Chains A and B, each alone.
Chain A
Amino acid sequence: MPSGGLHELIDAHYEALYRYAYRLSGSAADAEDLTQETFGKALARLPQLREPDRARAWLFRILRNLYLHKVRDQKRHKVVPLDAVGDLAGRDATPEMPDIDPAKLQQALNELDEAFRTPIILFYFEEFSYRDIAEQMDLPIGTVMSRLARAKAYLRSRLAPGPDPDGGGPLPDTAPGPKKVTDGVP
């Protein structure tokens, strides 16, 4: 792709990248920084992009690496046993799901470890295939599917109306303090 293609890349992908960054970081300021840094890196590495059709996956990967670098520096990970996440949804799931408050969704996402958060964001938000997500995260496709299933169950337990799987009743308006949900994957 010629170097003049950066402007086309920005136009085509900046909104999706910003939303992805926002859902990853949970902060508008961080999302803006991450988006800018992503295009900065992309400019420096533009000659490496041999398949323009893969530009979106390439940019998302750059952004995720930048994010991981940031959170690694900030040492924000807290490990909570994966048992906190329900593996399977209960039979009492509401057939018709009302609209989900985006802010509550973000709260729930913030509670997920990045290892779960990234696949679920990519799965819903940008509709990456399982294979794409596996490539993004350098994971076997089976691991991606397993994490997706667990993350989805967790979000459903947090966001769907009905009894709290932990016995806490419906999701309160003010969510409890964030607890990271992880299977110990760094």
Chain B
Amino acid sequence: MECRDAQFYLRLRRHAADELGPDVTGTLDSHLATCAACAADARAALSFDRALTAAMRSVPVPSGLREKLFTQAAAKQGAVLRGKLYRAGGLVAAGLLVLGIGFGVFSNSRPKVDSQVLIDIASNQSEQAVSRFLVANKLPDHLPMPFDYDLLMHFDMGEYQGQKVPVIVFRSPNGDNGFAKVYIFKSDSRFDLRGLQDAQGSQARAQVLVGQGAYRGATYVFVHTGRDLQPFLRTRNGGGNPA
């Protein structure tokens, strides 16, 4: 190794942790052992390194710095946590908003329920059921009066004065426990109208309709509360007249 190379490597040599590698260090040390001038430079470099290291590290640290840093860290961590919390809250709110919008779209796009249609369907089904019941008893398939089948309570065979007859019962639309019962007798049947009326209570009235035309062969006895049958009939069709 020549002196110029030795001078170069001396500048890079770090005595605490020599990073020049064994090849360079070995050659350098061999040169220093034989060259008094470079050896003196090496001692000077080492001395300078020590002095410079000491001066470089001689920086007084402000006494309150650690506390400042901890305070700042706590404040920043709080801000970070708050930020996360706000973001999470925002996400939840956004999610709820999306759900709400989605539900609104679903509700608006869903077919609307027309309660009147449902009532009509139920009413028609009731009327058809009564019709089948009448046909099964070999009677005209409709009643001679346009009853409001929304008010239908039940229909069945009822026993009266020893004979079984079809009975169709409607409730009053006024919620006053009123009723209208329709007893249907074959034309050749015999019955006591007074007894029938007494059995329903003193408030009841009775009307008899002997079927004609399409209703021939049947006698209809209407026992009802109130002055007449009007509350039990379909009003939107303007009611109907007995056949």
**A residues touching B (Cβ–Cβ < 8 Å)?**
3, 6-7, 10-11, 14-15, 18-19, 22-23, 28, 31-32, 35-36, 39-40, 43-44, 88-89, 91, 93-102, 105, 121, 123-125, 127, 129-131, 145, 148-149, 152-153, 155-156, 159-160
Contact = CB atoms under 8 A, between A and B. Distances in A.
Contacts of A95: 40, 43-44, 47
Contact of A93 (B8, B19, B44, B58): B44
20 contacts: A7-B70, A28-B62, A32-B62, A40-B72, A43-B77, A44-B76, A88-B4, A88-B7, A95-B47, A96-B43, A96-B47, A97-B47, A97-B52, A99-B54, A100-B52, A100-B55, A105-B52, A124-B49, A129-B19, A153-B11
User: Top 9 A-B pairs ranked by shortest CB distance?
Assistant: A100-B55, A97-B47, A93-B44, A19-B59, A102-B58, A97-B51, A125-B56, A124-B56, A105-B55
Contacts of B54: 99-100
Contacts of B68: 32, 36
B199 interface: no
Interface in B23-54: 37, 40-41, 43-45, 47-54
Given A91-B37, A153-B11, A10 B50 contact: no
A36 B69 CA distance: 6
Contacts, number: 123
Contact of B45 (A43, A89, A131): A89
A22 to B, nearest CB: 5
A62 to B, nearest CB: 14
B191 to A, nearest CB: 95
B66 interface: yes
A121 B57 CA distance: 9
Nearest to A125: B56
B44 to A, nearest CB: 4
Given A22-B59, A99-B55, A39 B73 contact: yes
A18 B59 contact: yes
A23 B41 contact: no
B80 interface: yes
A20 B216 CA distance: 117
B48 A156 contact: yes
B22 to A, nearest CB: 16
B65 interface: yes
B53 A125 contact: yes
Contacts of B72: 36, 39-40
B14 interface: yes
B65 A18 contact: yes
B17 interface: yes
Contact of B52 (A6, A7, A159): A159
Contacts of A39: 69, 72-73
B76 A43 contact: yes
B33 to A, nearest CB: 17
B61 interface: yes
Given A39-B72, A95-B44, 19 more contacts: A3-B77, A7-B73, A10-B69, A10-B73, A23-B56, A32-B65, A36-B72, A39-B73, A88-B7, A94-B44, A94-B47, A97-B44, A98-B51, A99-B55, A100-B52, A105-B56, A124-B56, A125-B56, A127-B16
Contacts of A15: 61
A7 B57 CA distance: 23
B208 interface: no
A28 B52 CA distance: 20
Given A19-B61, A96-B47, A101 B69 contact: no
